[in-house]
Amino acid sequence: MRDYVIVSDATLDLPYSIIAEHDIRVIPMGVDINDVAYNYHPDEKELSIEEFYTRLRAGANTHTTQITPAVFSEYFKDILDKELDVLYIGFSSGLSSTYYAAHMVVEELSKEYPDRKIYGIDSKCASIGEGLLVLHSALQKKKGLTIDELRDWVEANKYNSRHWFTVKDLFYLKKGGRVTSLEAVVGTALRIRPVLSTDEAGKLVVVSKIRGVKAEIDFLITKMITEGTDLSSQTVMVGHADNLENAKKLADQIRSMNIVKDVIIAQIGPIIGTHTGPGMLALVYMGKKID
């Protein structure tokens, strides 16, 4: 049986140590800062997360660029030519056209390499929600799942990566068309923090609005307790966009409850950070949606 690799993109926001430990291949993504283009790699070799948020807080104009079909093709071919098959788990198609570019390339390369296996999966997730799904996929691979078995596992479990996040400054969401100008002005003035997730189409949705750090931490923990499955064996993930103080508060409170195996704190990189702004706080875990 031919070996295979798990590939994702730089929106997954996993700590680089985890990416390296599990041999997860990550395609970098582009971010422009004041019209200067950078490729963001998880090892931050071209742009550090700290530098990005320093410049964002200083008023820099930023926008992201999608991975092109040419980049996907080159990256996948390099793996295939090393006699490895490919399982790509990509950023939600409800938030970007990146997955459609990958899907097109997967179809083309499947014809070019008819004796090989190359699969693409739309995670329907964002940021560390995508990252947690990819991490659990890597853990399943280590258990000995074949590429076909893992493809089926990811499709069956991708909605079980439960991810919730809050943002501090509504103007970044306004820029992306997620809230109206009036909501942004009023919400920021009243310190209202929208709580967001993705729906079954992988699109961003505002599910609640709360006020204050304590309320957001309580909301996130309540969601985890309500939706989480087999929490005592789980390592859950706290994500933050230049918001380490509150990330530590959330992680410490979860640890003090002794209901999970461990908590990992992850930084939100420039690709997602461009759209959420600094101050974002997130919690992800494996569970089931509770209406």
* Domain limits, the chain: 4-157, 161-286
Instruction: Check whether 177 has a pLDDT greater than 60.
Output: no
What does CATH list as the number for 4-157? Answer: 3.40.50.10170
Average pLDDT (254-269) is 97
pLDDT number for residue 221: 97
Instruction: Check whether 171 has a pLDDT greater than 80.
Output: no
Residue 228 forms beta bridges with which residues? 287
Under a CB-based contact definition with an 8 Å cutoff, are residues 241 and 280 in contact? yes
pLDDT number for residue 175: 66
Please give the C-alpha separations between residue 279 and each of 39, 51, 290, in angstroms, as whole numbers.
Answer: 23, 15, 27
For the chain, percent of residues with pLDDT exceeding 70: 91
* The two three-digit tokens of residue 188, written as one number: 């920021």
Which of the four pLDDT bands, split at 50, 70 and 90, describes residue 98?
very high
Which of the four pLDDT bands, split at 50, 70 and 90, describes residue 90?
very high
Q: Could you tell me the end-to-end alpha-carbon distance of the chain, in angstroms, rounded to an integer? A: 42
Cα separation of 53 and 30, whole Å?
16
Residue showing tokens 């699109």: 203
Average pLDDT (225-241) is 96
Cα separation of 122 and 108, whole Å?
17
The model's pTM is 0.93
Of 15-29, 90-104, 126-140, 178-192, the range with the lowest mean pLDDT is 178-192
Best CATH choice for the domain 161-286 from the list 3.20.20.70, 3.40.50.720, 3.30.1180.10, 3.30.950.10 = 3.30.1180.10
Under a CB-based contact definition with an 8 Å cutoff, are residues 232 and 211 in contact? no
Cα separation of 235 and 103, whole Å?
31
Helices and strands, number each (H, E), in the chain: 11, 13
Closest CA to 122 of 95, 148, 149: 95
Which of the four pLDDT bands, split at 50, 70 and 90, describes residue 207?
confident
Cα separation of 138 and 23, whole Å?
8
pLDDT number for residue 186: 46
